[in-house]
Structure 1
């Protein structure tokens, strides 16, 4: 019988768990592979098992099972094929495929012995299956670690600020404000020259005196003696040409 790499997980399942009836008139279909395998172990206990060491099955045993259960309404041929595929790809079954070990029929009677080629194929399938299972476990662990990482990185307590450092920081801020305030005050007022008529045009840079200190600005619009300018701060101001000076 050929094998696949799908892993069987029926070690904890027994026939008594499913309470399978021996009455052929029972029309309840078996629900899943576990139930089908438990049923096969109940019907053919010298051939199938759901835990412990497995016995290598006779090649072509599907036809024997189908003939024995032809009148059985509990399980279909499709379910039987699926159950056999899972059973023969389980790790415990693949481990039982050793050179010189006899395959058994439904009555547990020994028959053809396993050759080296069959044993090598089973070992290769088993190794590949275990590697895939290890990769799946590794991926799940990495996923769980990624989900829990933000919680573990959260600090267990909140460190109180150092009063000395806070006071020093406050003093630094005050000093900085004082320096900024001092720097912002002009030391001497620049000499202002009235703007010429040819300089009074849109886009020209000028000085506009809105308070005590002149500010740089750009002319946006000229309407007779009324001029609209944009200060370097972005503010747009409408003023008189008498307030404008050469930049």
Structure 2
């Protein structure tokens, strides 16, 4: 057998590459469950965890180093991760072994980043609401005013003409029952999953961005980000 033939692999033996951050984090959580988690309170990561990941996955074609950096940046900047970065909590390595303890300055920095992130999210929500109101105002201004036309008086029948008129039957109003919504349990609420969020009378499709205990952050199709309770979500 030639050397080139010995190095060849079949398509089933090749690793399946992942392309987005969600899939990369899912892969890391599966490979290192004692280090990464997709739900609940995450464990603070060891400083220099990227080098450890790059070394452990150097022969794994599933993810590149660039993808690992991007995934770690998203993971460590999430609200639930920043909230778990508290003074006195030990950082963990890829195998979950505790290491250095978070000091006061590191905890303070994480809290500052968290506050800034929430403030930016609030500003984006305000901007989205203002944009939606402006669009509604523009539509209302462009809509032509309704002009009520005077009622035409029906001609009265002559005295010699008898008009036989049947009484109008009562029109029954049929109220269509609202579609029943099924509450989404914890196992159905996952990062990246689709759920229904009831705003007013109509449920709206949303994508789950973050999960922290009973608080869930979702994004509507319009791009608006909303933080709500898990018991306010329904199956899509």
Q: TM-score range by the shorter chain?
A: 0.5 to 0.7
Indicate whether 1:61 and 2:49 are aligned.
Answer: yes
Name the Cα RMSD after superposition.
2.3
Following the alignment from structure 2 to structure 1, what is the Cα–Cα distance between the partners of residues 63 and 12? 11
Task: Map 1:1-247; keep pairs closer than 5 Å.
Answer: 25-152=13-140, 154=143, 157-160=146-149
Q: Hey, which of these two has a bigger chunk of helix by percent?
A: 1
Give 1:66 shift: 1.1
Give 1:65 shift: 1.0
Q: What secondary structure, in the 3-state scheme, does the structure 1 residue paired with 2:80 have? A: helix
Give 1:27 shift: 3.4
Q: Contact 1:44–1:107 (CA<8 Å) still a contact in 2?
A: yes
Gaps (5+ residues) in structure 2? 1-10, 151-236
C-alpha change, 1:160 and 1:150, in structure 2 (3 Å) is farther
Residue by residue over 1:15-56, the C-alpha shift from the partner in whole angstroms, topping out at 9 and shown as x without a partner, is xxxxxxxx9942332111111111000000111011221110
Q: Which has the larger radius of gyration?
A: 1
Residue by residue over 1:70-114, the C-alpha shift from the partner in whole angstroms, topping out at 9 and shown as x without a partner, is 110111111111111111111110001100011011111111110
TM-score, normalisation: structure 1: 0.52
Q: Contact 1:47–1:57 (CA<8 Å) still a contact in 2?
A: yes
- Displaced runs of 4+ in structure 1, greater than 6 A? none
Gaps (5+ residues) in structure 1? 1-22, 162-247
Q: What secondary structure, in the 3-state scheme, does the structure 2 residue paired with 1:112 have? A: strand
Following the alignment from structure 1 to structure 2, what is the Cα–Cα distance between the partners of residues 96 and 156? 56
Following the alignment from structure 2 to structure 1, what is the Cα–Cα distance between the partners of residues 58 and 116? 36
Provide the aligned length of Structure 1 versus Structure 2. Answer: 140
Following the alignment from structure 1 to structure 2, what is the Cα–Cα distance between the partners of residues 45 and 112? 20
Residue by residue over 1:107-151, the C-alpha shift from the partner in whole angstroms, topping out at 9 and shown as x without a partner, is 111111100000000000000011111111111111111111244
